[in-house]
Amino acid sequence: MGNGFQMQDRFADGAQYIGGRLRPGTSGRHQEVVNPATGETVYRYELAGTDEVDAAVAAAREAFPGWSGATPAERSDLLHRFAAVLAGQAEDFAHAESLQCGKPVKLSTEFDVPGTVDNTAFFAGAARHLEGKSAAEYSGDHTSYVRREPLGVVGSIAPWNYPLQMAAWKILPAVAAGNTVVLKPAEITPLTSLMFAQAATEAGLPDGVINIVSGAGRDAGEHLVGHPDVVMTSFTGSTAVGRRVAELAASTVKRLHLELGGKAPFLVFDDADLGAAVNGAVAGALINTGQDCTAATRAYVQRPLYDAFVAGVAGLMETVRLGDPFDPSTDLGPLISHQQRDRVAGFVERARAYATVVTGGEAPGGALAEGAYYRPTLITGAAQDSEIVTSEIFGPVLVVLPFDTDDEGIRLANDTPYGLAASAWSRDLYRANRATRELRAGCVWINDHIPIISEMPHGGYKASGFGKDMSSYSFDEYTQVKHVMYDNTAVAAKDWHRTVFGDR
């Protein structure tokens, strides 16, 4: 696998995976999957129309009674097999992910794919551990207990920045809890979502449990959100589209899970380990070419360390090797598309009017000129309310601002509509602990920025959305709790009836 011809061959039957088999879309509109490192088309397909969404929802609906009726042990066993199939295809997955996204193969090999295998193994185990309150005679006269039940057909929508991991995060907790799923990947990156669904079938998951509709947001996406047979929408993407999805979901009173944009602060106190903070800022800002919702985007550095931090980050950014994603020594790949590269460049060009571009701020030439590359970029001197500090850029761009007091640093870090992630850097236990309490974000790292683990939740505060991916917390999104109350008295005239008729 690897080049365009082979992808065309592999998905010759189409990019819609419905009821356990591939089929073409019928929207009449075609989409190209482009390798952004070269501009080469690696796959061309017909987008899903509303017919494919309807067929996928019907397949998921048909699969639901059997899948939700399976024992947790049966679901767990199949998910363990699924993890093993994925692990066995790790190289193919890494290759396909790098091909459609332009990610360095060392990132897809060491992060995207093993993370997905681990997530699958985690949910295989978690499928047997749904939690709830213990049954008891809370009223005295009844036994009460809760049932944690799956919802039905979940419609999920994913972005292009981590296509495989986003498919995994959306699908795994839902199916582990007994739901069936229709996932719409971003139309520019459907390949690894299709491979993921195929691997599930190979592992023995029944047809219809996982379906993929590769379609555009405006038609296939909106049709999925509005579909009356879909009980929940789980969406990961931008805050702007999330708002639209929430409006559409309201019309059918759907349960919603929204993982939206971010603008993570990186707060460096003056007692921090400077070298660690510099390394952390560069890694946190440039991971996945900055196309990461938790990426470090705004560094606030306490005045005594400010100059050394800026010099250190600029120096390190200049050593980062841009190149062919398939070269194992490449650090930084292209952005997802030329359009996204131009968008990022637009933010930086506008910032030149009010700020200083310390390093970067341009696309490389030479052998990389055909790709959607952009150099690591460091900006200083921007005001807190400027566009470069407030907007989600989704590219390899870090802005650094100074602060004086701890209060000011925390206030500036929180001064954003977003709240997905944040980090604080300090060797002082009390300062660090204060930051964990006061930073308003769904994840706060101390002396690191980016790592995630399957056992712990990922999700936003404020305009970054609500609900959790990963961890057993995600079962709160994908299950509903039913209170069952059993009368233990066998008395026909119950004491409380007097409040409605008769006297004691």
CB of 256 to ligand NAD, least distance (A): 12
Which residues ranging from 113 to 172 are in contact with ligand NAD (CB under 6 A)? Answer: 157-161
Interface residue with ligand NAD, options 35, 180, 236, 416 (CB under 6 A): 236
Nearer to ligand NAD, 395 or 465 (CB): 465
Q: Does residue 245 interact with ligand NAD by CB under 6 A?
A: yes
Tokens of 336: 């997802």
The reply on whether position 179 binds ligand NAD by CB under 6 A is no
CA 16 to CA 184: how far, in whole Å? Answer: 10
Residue whose C-beta lies closest to ligand NAD:
217
157 vs 400 by CB, closer to ligand NAD = 157
> Minimal distance in Å, beta carbon 252 to ligand NAD?
14
> Which range touches ligand NAD (CB under 6 A), out of 20-28, 46-54, 138-146, 232-240?
232-240
97, 153 contact by CB (below 8 A): no
User: Toward ligand NAD, which CB reaches closer, 25 or 237?
Assistant: 237
CA atoms in the 13 A half-sphere facing the CB of 272: 32
Which residue number, 60 or 212, has a Cβ lying nearer to ligand NAD? 212
Are 352 and 51 spatial neighbours (Cβ–Cβ below 8 Å)? Answer: no
139 φ/ψ angles, rounded to the nearest 5 degrees? -85, -15
Q: Applying CB under 6 A, which of residues 7, 154, 176, 260 lies at the interface with ligand NAD? A: 260
Distance CA(352)–CA(371), nearest Å, equals 24
Of 52, 187, 222, 259, the catalytic one is: 259
Q: How many residues bind ligand NAD (CB under 6 A)?
A: 30
CA pseudo-torsion sign 451, 454, 457, 463: positive
Strand duo 210-212 + 180-184: pairing: parallel
Question: Rounded to the nearest whole angstrom, what is the least distance from the CB of residue 22 to ligand NAD in the complex?
Answer: 19
241 contacts ligand NAD (rule: CB under 6 A): yes
Of residues 174 and 314, the one with the C-beta less far from ligand NAD: 174
Cβ proximity to ligand NAD: between 36 and 465 the closer is 465
* CA atoms within 13 Å, Cβ hemisphere of 495: 6
What does the alpha-carbon distance between residue 502 and residue 26 come to, in Å, rounded to a whole number?
Answer: 66
CA distance 425 to 368: 35
Query: Is 390 near ligand NAD (CB under 6 A)?
Result: no
Minimum CB–partner distance for residue 353 and ligand NAD (Å): 25
Question: Please, what is the minimum distance in Å from the beta carbon of residue 336 to ligand NAD?
Answer: 8
- Check binding of 467 to ligand NAD (CB under 6 A): no
User: Which of 151, 148, 149 lies closest to 254 in space, CA to CA?
Assistant: 151
Token couple for 394:
């989704």
Q: Where are the alpha helices (DSSP H) in 127-273?
A: 163-176, 191-203, 222-226, 239-251
State the Cα angle at 148 between 204 and 491, rounded to 5°: 135
Question: In whole angstroms, how close is the CB of 452 to ligand NAD at the nearest point?
Answer: 10
Closest CB to ligand NAD among 270 and 292? 292
Give the CA dihedral 432, 438, 442, 446, nearest 10 degrees: -10
In the region spanning residues 197 to 226, those forming contacts with ligand NAD, defined by CB under 6 A, are 217-218, 221-222, 225
Q: What is the maximum span of the chain, computed from C-alpha positions, in angstroms?
A: 92
**According to the binding rule CB under 6 A, does residue 29 interact with ligand NAD?**
no
Angstrom distance (rounded) from CA 292 to CA 101: 13
Per-residue interface string for the shown chain with ligand NAD, residues 276-315, x marking contact by CB under 6 A: -----------------x----------------------
Residue entry with tokens 């995600």: 474
**CA-CA distances (angstroms) from residue 81 to 28, 115, 124?**
37, 16, 9
244 binds ligand NAD (CB under 6 A): yes
Q: Shortest CA distance to 210 belongs to which of 46, 14, 56, 83?
A: 56
User: Which residues sit opposite 144 in a β-bridge?
Assistant: 136, 485
Task: Specify whether 62 is catalytic.
Answer: no
Least distance CB 388 / ligand NAD (angstroms): 16
* Residue 334 falls in which region: left (phi positive, over 0), alpha (psi -120 to 50) or beta: beta
Q: Which stretch binds ligand NAD (CB under 6 A): 7-15, 89-97, 198-206, 238-246?
A: 238-246
Nearest-approach distance from CB 464 to ligand NAD, in angstroms: 6
Q: Is residue 187 a contact residue for ligand NAD (CB under 6 A)?
A: yes
State yes or no: residue 418 binds ligand NAD (CB under 6 A): no
- CA torsion 249→251→253→256, rounded to 10°? 10
Q: Which of 18, 420, 435, 463 binds ligand NAD (CB under 6 A)?
A: 420
Q: Least distance in Å: CB of 262 to ligand NAD?
A: 5
The answer to the question of residue 462 lying near ligand NAD (CB under 6 A) is no
Binding status of residue 259 toward ligand NAD by CB under 6 A: yes
Q: Which residues make Cβ contacts (< 8 Å) with residue 406, sequence separation at least 6?
A: 269, 302, 431, 434
The residues annotated with a catalytic role in the active site are 259
Kindly list the residues in this chain that would bind ligand NAD in the complex (CB under 6 A). 157-161, 184, 186-187, 217-218, 221-222, 225, 236-238, 241, 244-245, 259-262, 293, 392, 394, 420, 460, 464-465
